[in-house]
Structure 1
């Protein structure tokens, strides 16, 4: 399979190997151990809200961070499908995976594909060991889904580059180590040209992180101000001017994984547990069945994208379709759960109880269809993919 042979709405049919079944059992046993020690709380949106570096390191000790990275760089060399199984189990359980999430999902693969040998040798073993955490430096105040309009600039200096600008919605910038920042290095008529990516030390002089609080009061996102930040030449990621091509390739990893339909899955599990205590009506069971069927269908599509990535394809349109369908399902799941069992949401209820999980999911739900690209932008990508074929 290659980018030229993969039609825009084709999804490879995937049968997980027997090794994936064994791996799933191992992950479930690990999650049970972590649940017993109180680290796995079963909360929705755990890939954003569950920042626990200790958990990430223990996961890495099992070889489950950087799984798809080559062994020569400290990874497990196991491929995207086996990684998929691990991620699926962790998200379904609501495990706290946000510390290593971006590093594992896209920073590592991006450094592997575009980085210098020196960058690979430095960053990839640390990512795989759960010791190096990345943020995403793409969006800006007026450049959310329209990344080609970024205003952050990188000026070439005698010793490297000086970055000036502000990145918005930079998740984890207050606790992570590095960010991959998209900046304009050249002025061109084609606004998709002249962009480059840089690996920026988030503790470097000139980096100022300003909190952006969620509706729940949580501090997950930030405005990351780059006020004349000096970046060495060796931290240019890829070639100068290739930033747009690199970013769009990176977004296939960001948009297609299980996190795009499993963020609210723990709430569905909580609903089923609540219904075990009382007789469920035929209507309730039907609505749950419809949710489950949608979940299963999107999972098959998401697995197809993982298989395409494993084969070296560039499934941009497929990834956009998964993200569009998946995040709309996440919002619908919260609304449906409220309709099936009209329990008052209470953020102060017992942690892990249905009212607390419902409140958590509700307060996070405005972001589901925004992060990673709005649905309108995603449908434009899908349309262009169809037109090109």
Structure 2
């Protein structure tokens, strides 16, 4: 599927494979077992806040981590659309998937595409087994949306590289094993040139992790300091100087998935349960219908990008559009839920109650349109895509 034949506002038609129906039922059975175990609590933003390595390993035993990785590297050898079905069910249920999220979503595919054979043989089976967890080392204090202005530098040494700098908003760095770090390996007039990616051991000497707490008090993000960290030559990911091209390809995975519109979906489920206990008004039904229609339309766009990935194409502009529409919906959903059924948000209410889930979603809401690229930057990407076309 050559991307040149698809306009920036065009999306391939996504047809789920025949295996998807049974796969969906299998995942739901698994989730029922996990609810009985007490691990699936129906929480919003579970791909960020639901840290449970034991859950990840049980998921991996079913072949549902690293699904799209080839079997020769420990993956399931299944397509992105089948993977889509699995993660859609997990996110809708509010399952605790954050431990393996980055590894499964982008680190694994990036290593598969750009890594050496040695890197593939070492990392990919561990990712698929739910035993190797990655963080993203992109953003910096003054280089969030303007990613190409990163100041973290990598200097050559006799046997590798020395990395110095600080990455911000590095999710899970305090608990994960590795981070894929974008660093400047040479100065260039074009700021998009001279960048490279490295696989950095988060326990290496010179790595210092500083917590960044959310408004809720949760420790999910970090400032990740690299203080002269030695990185072996074998841990350069891809070609030196190709970092920008690799990162932008990686962002297509990060921006287009169902997590970009399903983070607050469990709150909608909670609302429907509350409304089911009382007589709904016509206005309430209308507002629920509008939310459902928006969810369905964005899902179709997101599936279109997954279909392109399945065919070996990458639709960067379409991925940016999905992220822009999806994360705006996430925030709008929280506001609509409050309007449909006015309920005082209470973080101290019974865990899992509507009031507690509403408070959780509200405290996380500032991040919805920031992570993975601000909406303003995404609209710039979309505009450039249209102009180039």
TM-score over 0.5 for the pair: yes
Q: Give secondary structure in 1 for the equivalent of 2:326.
A: helix
2: CA distance, partners of 1:320 / 1:141: 22
1: CA distance, partners of 2:192 / 2:102: 24
Counterpart for residue 386 of structure 2: 386
Counterpart for residue 74 of structure 1: 74
Counterpart for residue 195 of structure 1: 195
Q: Give the ranges of 4+ consecutive aligned residues of structure 1 lying more than 6 Å apart after TM superposition.
A: none
Q: Give secondary structure in 1 for the equivalent of 2:57.
A: helix
Cα pair 1:2 1:314 within 8 Å, conserved: no
Matched, 1:9 2:12: no
Matched, 1:261 2:252: no
Q: Give secondary structure in 1 for the equivalent of 2:4.
A: coil
For residues 132-152 of structure 1, the C-alpha deviation after alignment (integer angstroms, 9 at most, x for no partner) is 000000000000011100000
Counterpart for residue 125 of structure 1: 125
Alignment of 1:17-96 (within 5 A): 17-96=17-96
The offset of 1:16, in angstroms, is: 1.1
2: CA distance, partners of 1:209 / 1:4: 43
The offset of 1:276, in angstroms, is: 0.7
Moved more, 89-98 or 7-16: 7-16
1: CA distance, partners of 2:162 / 2:351: 45
Counterpart for residue 231 of structure 2: 231
2: CA distance, partners of 1:192 / 1:341: 48
Alignment of 1:338-349 (within 5 A): 338-349=338-349
Gaps of 5+ in 1: none
The offset of 1:5, in angstroms, is: 2.2
1: CA distance, partners of 2:133 / 2:6: 33
The offset of 1:13, in angstroms, is: 1.2
2: CA distance, partners of 1:313 / 1:281: 46
1: CA distance, partners of 2:293 / 2:147: 34
1: CA distance, partners of 2:7 / 2:142: 33
Alignment of 1:134-145 (within 5 A): 134-145=134-145
Counterpart for residue 114 of structure 1: 114
Q: Give secondary structure in 2 for the equivalent of 1:99.
A: coil
TM-score for both structures, normalised by structure 1: 1.00
Counterpart for residue 316 of structure 1: 316
Cα pair 1:6 1:313 within 8 Å, conserved: no
2: CA distance, partners of 1:175 / 1:69: 24
Counterpart for residue 209 of structure 1: 209
Q: Give secondary structure in 2 for the equivalent of 1:189.
A: coil
Gaps of 5+ in 2: none
The offset of 1:67, in angstroms, is: 0.2
2: CA distance, partners of 1:386 / 1:312: 22
The offset of 1:3, in angstroms, is: 2.5
For residues 64-83 of structure 1, the C-alpha deviation after alignment (integer angstroms, 9 at most, x for no partner) is 00000000000001010000
CA RMSD in angstroms, aligned pairs only: 0.5
The offset of 1:350, in angstroms, is: 0.9
Counterpart for residue 182 of structure 1: 182
TM-score for both structures, normalised by structure 2: 1.00
Aligned residues: 389
Counterpart for residue 284 of structure 1: 284
2: CA distance, partners of 1:212 / 1:68: 32
Cα pair 1:75 1:128 within 8 Å, conserved: yes
Cα pair 1:210 1:222 within 8 Å, conserved: yes
The offset of 1:312, in angstroms, is: 1.0
Q: Give secondary structure in 2 for the equivalent of 1:327.
A: helix
1: CA distance, partners of 2:3 / 2:267: 37
2: CA distance, partners of 1:354 / 1:259: 21
The offset of 1:88, in angstroms, is: 0.1
